[in-house]
Amino acid sequence: MATRILAPPKKVILNNLRLLSRPLNSVPPTFAAAIPGQFAAFEPAPAATTTKPSPLIDLTDPERLFSSVPISKLIRSTANLHAVAMEPVVDLGIRVMQSKLIMDTGLVREAVLGVVRRTFYDHFCGGEDTVEAAATVRQLNEAGLRGMLDYAVEDAEDNSSCDSNLEAFLHTVESARTLPHGYVSFVVVKITAICPIHLLRRVSDLLRWQKRNPSFNLPWNHYSFPILSDLTPLYHTLEEPQPLTAEEEADLFLAHERLRTVGSKCEKYNIPLCIDAEYTAVQPAIDFFTYSAAMEHNRNEPIIYGTLQAYLKDAKERLLLKSEAARKMGILMGVKLVRGAYMASEAKLAHFLGHESPTHNSIQETHDCYNDCASFMLEKVAGRSGAVVFATHNVESGQLVVMKAKDMGISNGNQRLEFAQLYGMADSFSFGLKNEGFQVSKYMPFGPVDQVMPYLLRRAEENRGLLSASTLDRQLMR
């Protein structure tokens, strides 16, 4: 039985949080000798300069940025981005797609899906199946970009749905293998699609209760990195949950086997597997699965990448905890760093339960957290102990990451450093990063229109600010 990794003392965490807060635009640190059992110490970095750095990513030349994009596609993209930037359009789309009166009427439903298919779906999705998705990946590669294949699927309610989703994920891996090496940067999997959602809630409740009461025994939790920190919200679990039943433990084992099956195939073909994050009610269980998979597959190469949401107040502390656990076990840590997509619903739930939101109190705090975590992960890349995907549409963060990577001598073609933006969004930023020589991917959902649209609409509702903030792309495309 593997040993469960314990968290380092709180004093060590606090000291290293201060180290992690070193800004991206500071001079890179030199590594001092690591103290056994503790975080590696760094020599103090010189104070950050107050002079604003000159831009390293050139977004001023639209002809160069979009030289690989046909005029017809630019026109369609401009029209679509203008449409989704208007909140009434997003509201109307959500109401139509959620209307049973409309969507349960055969001819009307087909007409609506037909319009959606030729407009927003084509703009934000890679196709209806792996054949169309592969064709889209080839087009991306012609423009110098890579594809993150995301089979967009809803939460699974039972084992039958999970098994069906597993087959789809495996088919996605096989499709990625048929493409030339490097065309697909990642295959994306959602734990909510291969483990019944009610079981993820149960496991998360039990993990939170164990955080409250360390003596609380979870016989199935034999090994993992530390999942929760002292800053992680526990208000979702108001009373001691019942242990998993024998049937639930069996279902948990089946879910682990599904992830192991996908992870083993990705490791065999050397295709990294990125596990998406979700809302805090189920995120502890998702991290439990992610860390278990990383411990199995990340011994030699970073195959499994977890997702860290920088808009959460506990993000930096959890990053340090799992980083130290990975170091002790000789595991390479793969991280996709995002800001987060559930701000409204997280705040609403926390307020309903009488607590502060788990997300930062201001957008600037989120930016600072993202940049601090980015700086920390760049040091891991430089030290060859980690790999990172900077999933961001924020140009300032991108500029800072590029500047620090260059200062640290991280080569542009380093396979453990990737940028990513959503397919159909922030294209000027993607091309700007590509022109600087960095690896850039587009996160590309695909699947049947009727299956993918509810998935996209939920994200449209949560990401209204992101959709309306496409001003730069719209200007440059025009």
Residue 168 has pLDDT above 70, yes or no: yes
Instruction: Evaluate whether 433 touches 419 at the Cβ level (below 8 Å).
Output: yes
Question: Beta strands 386-391 and 417-422: pairing type?
Answer: parallel
What does the pLDDT look like over 200-233, one tens digit per residue? 999 999 999 999 999 999 999 877 789 999 999 9
Q: How far apart are CA 9 and CA 54, in angstroms?
A: 41
What would the pLDDT profile of 107-147 be if each residue is shown by its tens digit? Answer: 877 887 788 788 888 888 999 999 999 999 999 999 999 99
Residue 44 has pLDDT above 80, yes or no: no
More confident residue, 290 or 100: 290
CA–CA distance, 266 with 186 (Å, rounded to integer): 9
Does the CA dihedral 273-269-193-117 come out positive or negative?
A: positive
Q: Which of 71-75, 197-201, 342-346 has the lowest mean pLDDT?
A: 71-75
Q: For residue 418, with 0-12 CB atoms within 10 Å meaning exposed, 13-18 middle and 19 or more buried, which class applies?
A: buried
End-to-end Cα, the chain, rounded Å: 60
Do residues 386 and 416 make contact, with C-beta atoms less than 8 angstroms apart?
A: yes
d(CA 323, CA 376): 10
Report pLDDT digits (tens) over 342-365. Answer: 888 999 999 999 999 999 999 999
| Percent with pLDDT over 70 in the chain | 85
Say which residue, 1 or 16, is predicted with more confidence.
Answer: 16
pLDDT at 404: 95
pLDDT at residue number 108: 79
H/E element holding 304?
strand 304-309
Using an 8 Å Cβ cutoff, are 433 and 390 in contact? no
51 vs 242 pLDDT, higher one: 242
* Helix or strand run (H / E) with residue 30: none
Q: Check residue 185 and give its pLDDT.
A: 98
Q: What confidence score (pLDDT) does residue 116 get? A: 78
Classify residue 234 by burial, with Cβ atoms within 10 Å: 0-12, 13-18, 19+.
middle
Distance CA 83, CA 126 (A): 19
**470 and 428 Cβ atoms separated by less than 8 Å:** no
36-45, 356-365, 376-385, 407-416: which range is least confident on average? 36-45
Tokens in use for 453?
């649209």
**Which parts of 353-448 fold into alpha helices (H)?**
363-382, 395-407, 427-435
